[in-house]
Amino acid sequence: MTHFIKADRFLLENEEKTNGYLQVNDNRFGVFVDAVPEDATVVDWSGYTIAPGLFDTHIHGINGHDIMDGTVDAVQGISKAILPLGVTRFLPTTLTSSKEDLNAAISAVRNAVQRGLAGAQSEGIFLEGPYFTEKHKGAQNPGYFRDPNYEEFREWQQLAEGSIVKIALAPERDGALEFICAVGDDGVLPSLAHTDADFDTCRRAVDAGARNFVHLFNGMSGLHHREPGVAGAALIDGRAFAELICDGHHVHPEVAALAARTKEDKLSLITDCMRAGLMPDGDYQLGEFPVVMKDGIARTETGSLAGSTLKLVDGVKNLYVWSGKPLYEVWHRASLSPAASLGREDVLGSIADGKLADYVVMDEDISIQAVAVAGEIKYRNN
């Protein structure tokens, strides 16, 4: 069924448009027009802005749930909790853990997807680890760190029924470059994280197919004028995407604005959210580590940041203020860039003819009023 959406403003793929009508054909966007036929079905959102659904490609949990709980309920809980926040697509993200716990988490995601998710839809699994190095371990458990093993990965991929789409590793581990080539040939996005590699090692990893850097500036060697390190490689190499947590704690606002200017459409906003998101301050668990959240900031007992409690839409709001860039451009860093990092920009991430009709309705304060997944309104702020 074809209908038209009327609104005051539309954040289209390459520009903002005021007034007008957006065509929706069943579950996909159609064209943007200035007028519609008299007999057209019109959904009137006058006074509001229509923007593409957000895509969080790095989220561990929220609202008391965590992917590493290894249960269908946890996956469903995350799916439901992030939908009212404007997120229509996400990558359920694991942590470095035992093989048994990873198996359970992968199975839970697979089973939840097969049964159908009630909120945001999974676009595949992100394995964050376990092939890291200890110096920048963050909240990852070094007791499980090891060299990349393609046969082990194939076992996980078989368990996931082919739904693992992204894996993070440290490129200085033995066999890392060969592993990057192998999983890249399988259509999986190799990403660099929790690493102390030098610039040249990172460049070789990108040459091999690692086209994404996980949570830029965090869990990696920093930028130095004589040794650019991992952060320098992420900023300098125009072939690679870089993830950014825009909560004002993981990265200084001015540095976040610098990254936005440097990486442009190769910047992906993420949350790296853990189970304490949407929850009150207190004691929580991230994987096998106890975590204390105070003033909305989650830290391990040693003081390391332990993921975030960020809402992706708040990351967009922050970068919009910090960078001074147009809203449609900043918004796409949390929708189109994440989709493009996975090679899915042809069907997801922006309002364009033929793409899946994931969209949010928001007011002038960028507060979410409604969310649609594939053309169907799934959330409405009563």
Question: Which residues carry out catalysis?
Answer: 272
Closest CA to 289 of 77, 168, 144: 144
Q: For 48-191, where are the alpha helices, taking DSSP H only? A: 72-82, 99-115, 150-159, 176-185
φ, ψ dihedrals at 195, nearest 5°: -140, 145
The helix/strand/coil state of 112 is helix
Judge whether 140 and 95 are in contact, CB under 8 Å: yes
Q: How far apart are CA 227 and CA 250, in angstroms?
A: 22
Angle at 241 between CA 127 and CA 187, to 5 degrees: 50
Per-position b or e across 357-377, b if 16+ CB within 10 A of its CB = bbbbbbeeebebbbbbbbbee
Q: How far apart are CA 216 and CA 341, in angstroms?
A: 15
Contacts of 100 (CB under 8 A, 6+ apart): none
